[in-house]
Structure 1
Amino acid sequence: MAQIIKTILFSVLTLCIAISLVKFPDQSLEASIRGLNIWWEVVFPSLLPFFITAELLISFGVVRFIGVLFEPIMRPLFNVPGVGSFGMFMGMASGYPTGAKIATRLREEKQLTRVEAERLVSFTNASSPLFIFAAISVGFFHDNKLGALLAVCHYVGNLFVGLCMRFYRRSEYEWKIEKKKKTPSKTSLRRAFYAMHRARISDERPLGEILGDAVIHSVKTLVMVGGFIVLFSVLTKLMFLIGFTSVIAELVEQLLLVFSISTEFGLPIISGLFEITIGVQSISGVNDTLLVQAILVSFILGFNGFSVQAQVASIISKTDIRFAPYFFARILHGFFASTLTIFLYKPLYLDRQAFDMYDVPVVHTTSENIWMDILTTIASIGPFITIICIITSFVLLYRRFIK
């Protein structure tokens, strides 16, 4: 019976989307083009180097090297092997969904158990510094100093999530197994090197095939990410046009009244829960105190938005990694980040603003615009990088097909 209800529900939802696309073709096309521009100008060229590098580092055994070195840190803190440090650092540097991509590869390589992979996915999908400092701080709020507050709250909150998720499915049986494991009390470069060497020689593919696989797998993943960005850009627009977003926003507004927050944030919050960029941009346009805006933005960044969550769900679906722990961690991250924003707003923003106003020269402000310069550069050359890489991947696939 449950399966029948699910079939009817999915069919009705898909039919409603199809009818909405027919009813609002112009608006749907506009939203689709907007999502496509974001993907091929910024997302693809900024994430592709990280994806390819991650594939190569795993293939050459460097991740095993890092894993041995960081095992004494990652196991006690987050209850994951040392290789999880690679996913954590890469996820923070490049943004979502890099953490899910790396966790999936490590699970496929049998370097993580199912539960360890679920723990790792829960705290390695963070927003990139480029998005926080350039797009949000400078682009939406026109305030360089806000980026430091949002970044600290976002990344520290993410680490808190990792500390909490270390207890996820920590059964008595698992505890006995882990007590038997001899986790090294100190790092060993020699042991790390031998682990890297064994991992490299175990991969019998020639160098050319390794490079080709890295490009193909990365491009495939990013094409899928682009599809989700376009899809949710259109869905968000359609829900607004048919009035569905407004109905949910009214319910959120009642909740905002309890916390004495302006009801004008209702619609932007709903938009942000589906798509981060639209939601944050809408929040920046509401005439209210910056503290309230920063708290809401921190929550949305931690929650990731359903668009990013769908990307993560699609990436981990190739393995036995479950989505539920990741979704729970996103709610946890949102609350941690927003709470930290309340406590750190004065020391990281107000006090710093007063200090810069009286003691720091104007050159300091200019140096912080480097993130905006990077974003502008990527957006200008991004389409060319995207086209060249997609053509390259097609050529590699064609050559393998004819062989």
Structure 2
Amino acid sequence: MFKSKIKSLTLAAFITTIAGALITFPQESFEASIRGLNMWWEIVFPSLLPFFIISEMLIGFGVVKFIGVLLEPMMRPLFRVPGIGGFVLAMGMASGFPSGARFTARMRQENQISRIEAERLVSFTNSSNPLFIFGAVSVGFFHNSNLGIILAISHYASNICVGLIMRFYGKEDVPKKTVKYKSISIKQALRQMHITRLQEKRPLGKLLGDAVISSIHSLLLIGGFIILFSVINKLLYHMNITDLLAKGVEFLLSFIGFPETLSTPYIAGLFEITLGSQMTSGAANASLMQQAVITSFILAFSGFSVQAQVASILAETDIRFFPFFAGRILQGFIAAFITFLVWKPVYERFSYISKPSNAHPVSGIGEGGFTISIYHTVVQWGPLFTILCLILYIFISSAKMNQHKK
């Protein structure tokens, strides 16, 4: 009872403080809100919506079940999750946060995986997509497309490492009975896909409409969290709370030989990865290698903004949040270590820009390959795409409500 009262007082004090800060810093709050909104409708919405809709269709047509049967012999011994975990892992890497959590929750709701398996799966299937790593962080913040290779290697390799470690999680729990396949069987996979499609009673039009509504609804929720944490992060900075927390990090950074100027970006990155990565790229007296290590940790930890999005998605199921949170901390340290480990053999040896690691190589914004060109295309046309999709969402929702009234 006492702990419950303390929790109530703490939450009330926190939200009251934030409300007071909103009144005290109205201009800063507005600018932070606009920044979060721009990030959502320029990047997040147009890059995630196609993946969300397609994934719903793949599930409905039984393709996910097909993939699950094929990958069962690999995913089960490596990660102790069903074969459909391979689909979740691939989609999570391709589309970015918080897709892995959404697909995992969907698999759990359909009872295709047990709770323990879902908690293992969600801990290593949420990652940043290549578009953000190469486009926004490497080129947009560091003006160095080659850095994206290091960040991508450390990010995805640490993801796999977390999955291998989390296979030991919940060892005492007995998983639900699953069908085991001794070897890869195309025939068995096709049979399971056909059975799953027959179990889907919705016609194609309704399946597509439900996929659009469900996907946009999830993205609206994600957008709210992005805007909220963008504002909270800015308010904490102006209230000097970020600097206060950074004081505690300065000692740890100095212990490993990193400059104290990285402490504030590090704390900012714990709340929101975009702002933290941007501040890290501009930190003074820090070498590029040191900046890359901190950025790798920030990307892997995901920030409290992404974690809040995941928590809201998992709340619709019986999947516990703590394994995901523990996975983020673990991945953060592994990603930072991998970045430090591969810096010389990968970046310094194979970089096309022959400058020392404490320099900031600059490449043209439009250069850097196919991924970066896609990023700038998304930024340019993203807002228009978002508005058109929201209009479509309103139209479909209205038609659905009219049908229910009839």
**Normalised by the size of structure 2, how large is the TM-score?**
0.94
Q: Do the aligned partners of 1:134 and 1:369 also contact (CA within 8 Å) in 2? A: no
Partner Cα separation in structure 1 for residue 295 and residue 145 of structure 2: 15
Is the helix fraction higher in 1 or 2? 1
Q: Establish whether residue 242 from structure 1 lines up as the match of residue 243 from structure 2.
A: no
The question of whether the paired residues in 2 share the 8 Å contact of 1:118 and 1:325 is answered with yes
Counterpart residue number, 1:311? 309
- Counterparts of 1:204-283 in structure 2, within 5 Å, are 204-283=201-280
The Cα offsets for residues 226-283 of structure 1, whole Å up to 9 and x where unpaired, read as 0000000000000011111111011111221211210011100000010101111111
Deviations 1:162-193 (A, max 9, x none): 0000110111x628x77xx6632311111101
- Please name the residue that 1:103 is paired with: 104
Displacement of 1:145: 1.1
Provide the C-alpha distance between the structure 2 equivalents of 1:273 and 1:197, rounded to a whole number of angstroms. 45
In structure 2, distance between residues paired with 1:28 and 1:83: 42
Matched, 1:387 2:387: yes
1:15-48 CA-partner distances (Å, limit 9, x unpaired): 1111111111111000000100000011100100
Name the count of aligned residue pairs: 394
Q: CA deviation at 1:355?
A: 8.9
For 1:302, give the aligned amino acid. A
Verify the 8 A CA contact 2:115 2:319 in the aligned structure 1.
Answer: yes
Q: 1:34/1:366 Cα in 2 relative to 1: closer, same or farther (>3 Å)?
A: closer
Decide whether the 8 Å contact of 1:92 with 1:126 is kept in 2.
yes
Amino acid in structure 2 at the alignment position of 1:247: L
Distance 2:353 2:10 in 1: 57
* CA–CA separation in structure 1 for the residues paired with 2:117 and 2:354: 44
Q: Write the letter of the residue equivalent to 2:185.
A: S
Inter-partner Cα distance in structure 2 for 1:104 and 1:66: 18
Q: Amino acid of the residue matched to residue 192 of structure 1?
A: A
**Separation (CA, whole Å) in 2 of partners of 1:59 and 1:286:** 48
Q: CA 1:182 to 1:206, structure 2 compared with 1: closer, same or farther past 3 Å?
A: closer
Q: SS of 2:351's equivalent?
A: helix
Shift of 1:338: 0.8
Asked if 1:44 corresponds to 2:45, the answer is yes
Do the aligned partners of 2:366 and 2:372 also contact (CA within 8 Å) in 1? no
Q: Secondary structure at the match of 1:174?
A: coil
- Aligned partners of 1:17, 1:366: CA distance in 2, in Å? 40
Distance 1:241 1:200, change over 3 A: same
- Following the alignment from structure 1 to structure 2, what is the Cα–Cα distance between the partners of residues 313 and 238? 23
Provide the aligned C-alpha RMSD in A.
1.9
* Residue in structure 2 matched with residue 143 of structure 1 by the alignment: 144
**Residue matched to 2:193:** 196
Corresponding position of 1:166: 167
Are positions 1:346 and 2:344 aligned together? yes
Of 334, 337, 342, the residue aligned with 2:332 is 334
The letter for the 1-side match of 2:326 is F
Number of the residue aligned with 2:6:
5
Q: Matched residue of 1:319: which SS?
A: coil
Q: Distance in 2 between matches of 1:310 and 1:355?
A: 39
CA offsets, 1:276-325, max 9 Å, x none? 01111111111321111111111111100000000100111100000000
Q: Is the 2:270–2:303 contact (alpha carbons within 8 Å) kept by the matching residues of 1?
A: yes
Q: Distance in 2 between matches of 1:393 and 1:84?
A: 30
Name structure 1 gaps, 5 residues minimum: 358-362
Give the letter for the 1:201 counterpart: L
Measured in 2, the distance between the counterparts of 1:62 and 1:339 equals: 37
Q: Which residue number corresponds to residue 322 of structure 1?
A: 320
Contact 2:28 2:234 in 1 (8 A): yes
Aligned to 2:93: 92
Residue in 2 aligned with 1:183?
Answer: 180
- Give % identity: 49
How far apart, in 1, do the equivalents of 2:30 and 2:212 lie? Answer: 30
Kept in 1, the 8 Å contact 2:150–2:343? The answer is yes
Post-superposition CA distance 1:364-383 (Å, at most 9, x none)? x9873322221111111111
Shift of 1:348: 1.4
SS in 2 for 1:142: coil
Q: What CA distance in whole angstroms lies between the structure 2 residues aligned with 1:204 and 1:144? A: 47
Shift of 1:141: 1.1
SS at match of 1:368: coil
Structure 2 stretches lacking a partner, 5+ long: 356-362
State yes or no: 1:294 paired with 2:292. Answer: yes
Aligned partners of 2:81 and 2:117 also within 8 Å: yes
1: CA distance, partners of 2:131 / 2:164: 25
- Measure the CA separation in 2 of the matches of 1:334 and 1:185: 36
For 1:360, the equivalent position in structure 2 comes to: none
